[in-house]
Structure 1
Amino acid sequence: MTKAISFALLVGGIVLLYFGGQAFNSVSSDVARVFTGSPSNKAIMLIVAGVIATLAGVTGIALSGRKR
Structure 2
Amino acid sequence: MNNKLIGIVLVVLGIALASWGYNIFDAATSQVTRALSGDTPIEAWAGMAGGVIAIFIGLRKLK
Q: Same fold (TM over 0.5)?
A: yes
Amino acid at match of 1:51: V
**Runs of 4 or more consecutive aligned structure 1 residues displaced over 2 Å after TM superposition:** none
SS in 2 for 1:2: helix
Residue by residue, what CA displacement relative to the aligned partner does 1:6-64 show, whole Å, maximum 9, x if unpaired? 110000000111111111110221122123324211111100110010000011101xx
Between the aligned partners of 1:33 and 1:22, the Cα distance in structure 2 is: 14
Match of residue 45 from structure 1: 46
**Which is greater in Rg?**
1
Match of residue 66 from structure 1: none
Q: Per residue, is there more helix in 1 or in 2?
A: 2
Between the aligned partners of 2:40 and 2:28, the Cα distance in structure 1 is: 10
Unaligned 5+ runs, structure 1:
63-68
Percentage of identical aligned residues? 31
Between Structure 1 and Structure 2, how many residues are aligned?
62
